[in-house]
Amino acid sequence: MIYMKTLIITFLTIICSLELVTAQSQIEQIEMATGLRSSGKIWVVVLVVLTLIIGIFLYLFSIDRKIKKLENHK
Amino acid sequence: MYSMMRKSWWKVLGAVMVCSSVVAGFMGPVPVLPILNETIRNIYFHVPMWFSMITLYLISVIFSIKYLNSGERNHDIMAVEAVNVGILFCFLGLLTGMQWANITWGDPWPNDPKLNGSAIATLMYLAYLVLRNALEEEQKRAKISAVYNIFAFPIMIVLLYILPKLTDSLHPGSGGNSTFSDLDMDNNMRPVFYTAVIGWILTGIWICTLRYRLRLVENNRNKLD
C-alpha cells in the first residue's frame, strides 16, 4: 500500500515537473531582443535616439535664452 | 509664477528625466510577454504623451477659469498656448498609438471606443482653436473660448477615461481590460515609467511657457509701437 502511494506521488511529481518544463520552454519561445542586446549594437540605437532628444532640448534651451534676451531688452 | 517660468532648474530636470528614461527604456529589464514582445517598451514613450496632454489641458482650463474671474488678458494667452502645445502632444500620442496598434492589434485604427473617444476629443480641442480664430473682438473671443474650454475639459475626460471603461475595448485600462500597471508592469518598469511621465510633462509645460513668454513680448512690442 505504501509502495503504491509513493508510486502515485512520484508519478504526479514527474507530470507536474514536465508541465513546468513545457511552460518554461513556452516562455522562452517568446522572442525578445536579448540576442540583439548581447551583440551590443542596440546601444547604437540608444545613442542615436539620445542624440536626437538632447539636440531638441539644446534647441529649446537656445530658444529660452533668446526669449530671455527679448524680455530683458524692453 | 512668472519668475518660476524663467528659472531653469526644472527644465534641466525635465530634460535629464526624459533622457534617462530613453536609456533605461531601451535597456532596462521588461517582462516577457507574448504578442507585445519588446513593444512593451512603448509604454515609456506613448503613454507620457497623453499624460502631458492632460496636464496641459488642465492648465488651460485652470487659466480659463482664472480669466473669467479676473478678465486679465495674460490668463487667456496662457489658456490658448497650453491648448496649442497639448494638441501637439495629442497628435504625437495618436501617431505613436497607431504605430503600436498596427503591430500588436494588426490594425492602426480598429473601431475601438478608446481610439474613437480620443479622436472626438482631438476634434473638440481643434474646434476650440477654430472658434478663437472665428471671433474678431478680443474680449468676446477670450470670454466665449474660456467658457467653451471649461465645457470641453470634462467631456474630454469622459471620452478618454470613463466611456471606454464601460464598454469593450482593446486598449489596456478600458472595458474590463486590466491596465498595464495591474498586470504587466512589474516593479522594474515602474520607476522608468514615472520618470518618463514627469520628464515629458515638464517638457510640455516648458514649451507652453516659451510660447506664452513670446506672446507677452510680442504684446509689449505692439503696445510700444
Of A27, A50, A63, the CB nearest to B210: A63
Which residue, B171, B48, B54, is CA-closest to B113? B171
CA distance A17 to chain B (A): 21
CB contact (8 A) between residue A64 and residue B27:
no
Size of interface A-B (CB pairs under 8 A): 62
Band (B77; pLDDT cuts 50, 70, 90):
very high
Q: Could you give the ipTM of this predicted complex?
A: 0.80
**Rg of chain A taking only CA atoms, in angstroms:** 30
pLDDT in tens, B178-221: 566 554 566 788 889 999 999 999 999 999 999 999 999 999 88
Closest approach of A10 to chain B, Cα-based (Å): 32
> What is the percent of chain B with per-residue pLDDT over 70, rounded to a whole number?
94
Partners of residue A68 in chain B, C-beta under 8 Å: 6
pLDDT confidence bin for B1, thresholds 50/70/90: confident
Contact (CB<8Å) A60/B207: yes
CA dist B222 → A74, B26, B215, B219, B225 (Å): 12, 48, 10, 5, 5
Task: Over range A17-34, report the average pLDDT.
Answer: 57
Written as one letter, the residue type at B174 is S
For residues B177 and B73, the model is more confident at: B73
Report the predicted TM-score, pTM, of the whole model to 2 decimal places. 0.83
Q: What is the pLDDT of residue B3?
A: 85
Give residue for cell 518660476: B4
pLDDT reported for residue B44: 92
Q: What is the distance in angstroms between the Cα of A19 and the nearest Cα belonging to chain B?
A: 19
Q: Which residue has the cell 485604427?
A: B109
> Which chain A residues have a beta carbon less than 8 Å from that of B207?
60
Closest chain A residue to B16 measured between Cα atoms?
A54
> Is B46's pLDDT higher than 90?
yes
A38-46: long-range contacts at Cβ-Cβ below 8 A with a sequence spacing of 24 or more? A42/B26, A42/B27, A43/B27, A45/B26, A46/B22, A46/B23, A46/B26, A46/B27
Residues A54-64 have a mean pLDDT of 94
What percentage of chain A carries pLDDT values higher than 90? 28
Contacts of B216 in chain A (CB under 8 A): 71
| pLDDT value, residue A55 | 93
* pLDDT over threshold 80, residue A33: no
3-state secondary structure of B71: coil
Distance from the Cα of B150 to chain A's closest Cα (Å) equals 30
